[in-house]
A and B are shown apart, each in its own frame.
Chain A
Amino acid sequence: DTGVSQNPRHKITKRGQNVTFRCDPISEHNRLYWYRQTLGQGPEFLTYFQNEAQLEKSRLLSDRFSAERPKGSFSTLEIQRTEQGDSAMYLCASSLTTSGTDTQYFGPGTRLTVL
């Protein structure tokens, strides 16, 4: 079973540019999550999908951020007009919800640096 994969692993961009990250979950996992982690902090929830439906968005997710999971498989996270404060590690996780369980497995992350 392959794990969660994320691309690119690193992204350096200039302030004001748009960036897009991709996450491929574990095969057949129906839930997909995005988190953001800054240095010295725990991951913070951004949003999650169950199949194609985006079920919750954090207040941290400004209108410059948009996420999609068009066919219920891979997901993309786009940040428009990047700011220096967007520099962070963006983590994706997936899970298979069965009764009473929802263990999230994380990908290696995409490290974004905004200059």
Chain B
Amino acid sequence: AQKVTQAQTEISVVEKEDVTLDCVYETRDTTYYLFWYKQPPSGELVFLIRRNSFDEQNEISGRYSWNFQKSTSSFNFTITASQVVDSAVYFCALSEAGNAGGTSYGKLTFGQGTILTVHP
């Protein structure tokens, strides 16, 4: 069975600090997809990134970066120079491919989420 663990329930930082959100996953599939979503106070989940299990390259997008390590089953998310607008709940999620074709099976399994508060 697939499982996602976000051990950090809440993180509080001061603006301009760097912060890393941890995500550890469990799956028996060799083909799977990992996601990060942001849920601001308004409540709507916003897609941030998708990675497939065969692509271990780290990715950077502006102040956001992601570190995918299959050896430790981790997919961590770093925000550099945090801003107050980054305050939100962040979810890591996993989807197993479930077939040889590699098309995502669909169902997302989410972690419990990490509440990030950035103080001015």
Contact = CB atoms under 8 A, between A and B. Distances in A.
Interface of A: 31, 33, 35, 40-45, 48, 50, 55-56, 89, 91, 93, 95, 97, 99-109
A44 B110 contact: yes
A100 B47 contact: no
A35 B43 CA distance: 14
Residue picked from A42, A56, A89, most chain B C-beta under 10 Å: A42
A99 B102 CA distance: 8
Given A31-B106, A33-B107, A99-B101, 9 more contacts: A40-B112, A42-B112, A43-B110, A48-B107, A97-B106, A102-B106, A103-B50, A106-B45, A106-B46
Interface residues of B, number: 27
Residue picked from B43, B47, B108, B109, most chain A C-beta under 10 Å: B108
SS class, residues of chain A in contact with chain B: strand
Given A41-B113, A97-B103, A102-B103, A109 B108 contact: no
A25 B69 CA distance: 33
A93 B35 CA distance: 14
